[in-house]
Structure 1
């Protein structure tokens, strides 16, 4: 299972969300579970809740995804870097042919987007 945290999910994890904590634990404890934090979303989450970036980056179960050239080109067509980088990270790749699921506390933001969503709202 491949899960990409959007900025709202990262903020929720920093605030002690039980559901976000379970995702992090599962990625740490269970083989086949992978958790990703796109760098642009990580910056936005840290602006919302300072300290979030350092906290998530220190977790061994979370892989921070750098912004590469393909990602940068994908961002150019969108209004928010955080959402664009998250969508790009969730897209299918050779390593993840089915793409990844986006974890969020704001599922409405993803309506009409080509991503699958896990709602972290309690």
Structure 2
């Protein structure tokens, strides 16, 4: 299972959202669960709540995804960097042929985008 956190999911995890906490626990405890936090998502979450990025990045089950050249090119085509980086990270890759699911507390934000969504709204 491959899951990408968007900025709302990162913020929710920092505020004690039970569903986000369960994802983090599973990614840490189960070998076939992978949880990703794109760098642009961390920046946006930290702007809204300082300290969030450092907290999420320090968690053992979370992999921070850098803003490499392909991600930067994808981000440049969109208005918001956080959502664009999360969407890019959710696309299929050789390591993730089926892509990843975007975890969010704002599922309407993802309507019409080419991603699968996991609603973390309590």
Sort the TM-score into its range (normalised by shorter chain). over 0.9
Match of 1:90 in 2: 90
Q: Which runs of 5+ in 2 are unaligned?
A: none
- Return the offset for 1:31: 1.4
- Return the offset for 1:76: 1.1
**Equivalent-residue separation in structure 2 for 1:110 and 1:84 (angstroms):** 11
**Equivalent-residue separation in structure 2 for 1:74 and 1:58 (angstroms):** 26
Structure 1 outlier segments of 4+, above 6 Å:
none
Match of 2:43 in 1: 43
Answer yes or no: is 1:112 the counterpart of 2:112.
Answer: yes
- Return the offset for 1:11: 0.2
**Equivalent-residue separation in structure 2 for 1:62 and 1:25 (angstroms):** 10
The count of residues paired between Structure 1 and Structure 2 equals 122
**Equivalent-residue separation in structure 1 for 2:71 and 2:90 (angstroms):** 11
TM-score normalised by length of structure 1: 0.99
Aligned residue for 1:36, secondary structure, equals: strand
Q: Which runs of 5+ in 1 are unaligned?
A: none
TM-score normalised by length of structure 2: 0.99
- Return the offset for 1:84: 0.3
